């Protein structure tokens, strides 16, 4: 089983690529964001720590769970708060991912274990993944997608882009680059070629 980490900037179109991989290969796809979301539900250790640290912030819904939009606003506009949040959530996510990796490795039924994470490089997942792959989409295309698909303002997009790695940094750490600026077919052809090389 090969453990592959996939990353790229917000709006790079990673979801469609991950869906294609899950459908066409003997692979399990893990999304770090979804894992983090599950680990932050009321009643978890992560949730209790976040409530302790961020209790004064207006980031909670009436049922006690987090308002993700408000939380994003808070952490993307304040680097100290973002670092505090990451310091709570990321170690828990990493621990969970390592547990899944060990379990799947022992089971021996998968060809690929895929992890998608925005902070794959920053969180040193190269230490546990066999390879890191980068989904490249131009800033112009990403900006358009975020405006159209998520309704983000330019100000919000600027804040998100400023908090992420540069294209050069992504390319320096990743052994494979998938260009996602063209059609879906173009991207899928690249994936077929890459996975054929992996066999």
Query: What are 63-109's pLDDT values in tens digits?
Result: 888 888 888 888 878 889 989 998 999 999 999 999 999 999 999 99
Report the percent of the chain where pLDDT is more than 70.
99
- pLDDT for 140: 94
Query: Within 10 A of 106 (CB to CB), how many other CB atoms are there?
Result: 9
pTM of the model: 0.86
3-state secondary structure 128-197: CCCEEEEEECCHHHHHHHHHHHHCCCHHHHHHHHHCCCCHHHHHHHCCEEEECCCCHHHHHHHHHHHHHH
- Reported as a single tens digit per residue, the pLDDT across 145-173 is 999 989 999 998 998 888 889 999 999 99
Domains of the chain listed by start with CATH number: 2-198 (3.40.50.300)
């Amino acid at each position: 089983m090969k453990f592959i980490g996939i990353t790229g900037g917000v709006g790079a179109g990673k979801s469609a690529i991950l869906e294609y991989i899950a459908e066409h290969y003997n692979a399990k796809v893990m999304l770090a964001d979804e894992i983090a979301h599950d680990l932050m539900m009321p009643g978890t250790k992560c949730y209790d720590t976040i409530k302790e640290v961020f209790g004064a912030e207006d980031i909670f819904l009436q049922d006690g769970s987090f308002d993700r939009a408000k939380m994003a606003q808070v952490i993307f506009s304040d680097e100290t708060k973002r670092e505090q949040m990451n310091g709570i959530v990321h170690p828990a996510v990493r621990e969970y991912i390592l547990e899944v990796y060990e379990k799947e490795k022992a089971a021996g039924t998968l060809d690929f274990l895929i992890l998608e994470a925005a902070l794959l490089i920053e969180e040193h997942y190269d230490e546990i993944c066999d390879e890191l792959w980068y989904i490249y989409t131009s800033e112009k295309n990403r900006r358009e997608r975020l405006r159209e698909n998520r309704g983000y303002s330019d100000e919000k997009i600027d804040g998100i882009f400023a908090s992420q790695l540069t294209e050069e940094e992504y390319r320096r750490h990743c052994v494979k680059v998938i260009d996602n600026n063209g059609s879906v077919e173009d991207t899928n052809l690249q994936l077929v070629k890459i996975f054929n090389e992996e066999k």
